[in-house]
Structures are given as C-alpha cells and as structure tokens.
A = this chain, B = another copy of it.
Amino acid sequence: MYEEIINKLSKNDRRAVARSISNIENGDSDADILLQEVASKVGGAYRIGITGPPGAGKSTITNHLTKIYIKENKKVGIVAVDPTSPFSGGALLGDRIRMNEIGQYENVFIRSMASRGSLGGLCKKAIDAADVLDAAGYDIVILETVGVGQSELDIAQAADTTIVVLVPESGDSVQAMKAGLMEIADVFTLNKSDRPGADQAETALKTMISLKYHDENTWLPPILRTIASENKGINELNKEIERHEKFLKEKNKLLPKREEQMKIRIRNIVQEKLNDEIWHSGNENFLNSSLKNVTLGNISPYQIAEEIIINYKNHK
C-alpha cells in the first residue's frame, strides 16, 4: 500500500500528496511508515523558510515569489504554519484566502497547518510535510511561519535559506529577538518599506549585521526593501535567495548545513516519540492517582516522575 502511495507521490499525484500530509497532520499511526518511505526520496527540493512578526507581509511575499517560480516552470510546495491559531481561532485565515490565488496553479501545492497540540509538534509536522512535497518532486518548498515562540527557529532549522520579513515599525519586537534573528536570517526583507522608519530600521539591521563575526567564508545577510502589496522588490529578493543557494553550494556548505539540521530534527523526533510512548500502559492512571498526594506534599513530583520513567523502561 505504501509503495503505491510513494509511487503516486513521485508522480506528483496531488491527492496522494494531500492525503499523505493529512496522515501526518492527524498523527496517524502509519504516518511513520510513510515518512520512512519518503525519506529515501528527499533532497531534491530547495527549501525556503519565511518568517517574521504577524502582519509583516509574509504571505504576500510568498505569493509573489511563487509566481516567479511558476514562470520559471518550477513546482512549488508551500507549507504555512500558524502557531497562534489555537489562540486566534484562525486569525490568519485572511492570508490563506489571499494565497488561494496561487493555489489555482497546477504546479503549486499549498497546505496550511494550525497548532492543535504543542508548538514543537506543529513544526515537526510541517517539516514532515515538506519532506512529502520534496519526495513528490516539488522543486521549491516554502515553509512559512509567524515568528512566535520558537517557531521561527524550528522552521529555520528546516530551511536552506531563511528569509526574515520585518516592517519599519517592527522596532520593539525585533529588539527583543535581535540576536535570534541574526542567527536564523540568511536574507532580511524590510517590507512595507515606504512607511516611515524604514531608513532607521535598515540602519539598525546593518549595524547588527556588521557586528557579527565574519570572514570571507561567512555569508552576511543582505537587507532587501520590498513593498510586497505592489510586487516591488520581489525579483531582487529572489536574486538574493539564488545568490545564497549558490554560495552554499560553491562553498560546500549545503550538505553540512542539512546534517546539522537533521541532528536537531532527530532529537525532536526522539523527544516526541518518547513522550507519546511513555503515557501508554499504566502510567497515565498512575499519574492521576498520585496527584492528590503530590499536591499535598506527601510525595515529590520528581519521585513520581522517576517512577513513571522506570515503569516505562521496564514495560516490555
């Protein structure tokens, strides 16, 4: 059965792609098997991460970039991650609707994923979905996420090139995540750059970047100015993405980068699996029956945690 799906995936059967991603999203028990099969087919796609604060214009940029790729006859898979949605009840729905336009294209596949469980779980699933798209032969896979929590880090850890989208007035929130953005950004885009404050924002970014240690082997993130709503600056943005891809390949940095990312990913998979497994068997009941005693201070939560782990290890 899986061979069939894999077969269909490689032929870019859209329904097979959609169903596979649904399996992953629902956490179906057979999703793991699917992903094991998919694993041998990945590596062909170039992965672009797009992140930034809410309302910065990420979807609009994704939209226009995608149109460029379509013209180049490339197939584009888009996974849009909304880590805020259990809170917002779909605040980003508007963006999704706007994106439906490019969703009409034969060579574009869009999937948006919203948080049901943990943030980490969501990002893990998004990366799995990217694998499916990669295996299905998409040339470009775009992972888009609102930079909330550490979703921007998680997504950057799955992208070959990460674009951080800011707006002139991002000021404060950028301040708070400065160094973090410096870590992940391969390209900065100052969107809505016709708004006041663009010059100051660019200067601030430039200063940050210049402070970063660098030699001739270091990629220093360029700062682009875009007005995505008017499709301004998107070609230049695409040029910078291409330049970064070329840099990674020529300097033999792409594979090592992907290996580093794989390391983090496997660690996350292990953590999630463990967490799934451990609450099976009698541990859930044991936990529930201990709560009163722990809360009253008769036993320490650490003791209970210890026992739960021992139970788990002894169980088969």
Contact = CB atoms under 8 A, between A and B. Distances in A.
Interface of A: 32, 35-43, 54-55, 84, 86-89, 91, 119, 146, 148-150, 172-173, 175-181, 255, 258-259, 262-263, 265-267, 269-271, 273-275, 277-279, 287-288, 290-292, 294-306, 308-309, 312-313
A42 B288 CA distance: 20
Q: List 7 tightest A-B contacts by C-beta distance, closest first.
A: A39-B300, A149-B149, A87-B180, A36-B300, A269-B305, A87-B177, A259-B291
Given A36-B303, A91-B176, 20 more contacts: A32-B302, A39-B302, A40-B300, A43-B297, A54-B172, A84-B176, A86-B179, A86-B180, A88-B179, A91-B175, A119-B149, A149-B150, A262-B295, A262-B301, A269-B301, A269-B302, A270-B278, A274-B275, A274-B309, A313-B313
A198 to B, nearest CB: 19
Contacts of A150: 119, 149
A121 B308 CA distance: 19
A87 B305 contact: no
Nearest to A297: B40
A131 B193 CA distance: 49
A284 to B, nearest CB: 10
27 contacts: A32-B302, A36-B302, A36-B303, A39-B294, A39-B297, A39-B299, A43-B296, A43-B297, A54-B176, A86-B180, A87-B178, A87-B181, A88-B177, A149-B150, A259-B292, A259-B295, A262-B295, A262-B301, A263-B287, A265-B301, A266-B294, A266-B308, A267-B279, A269-B302, A270-B308, A271-B275, A274-B309
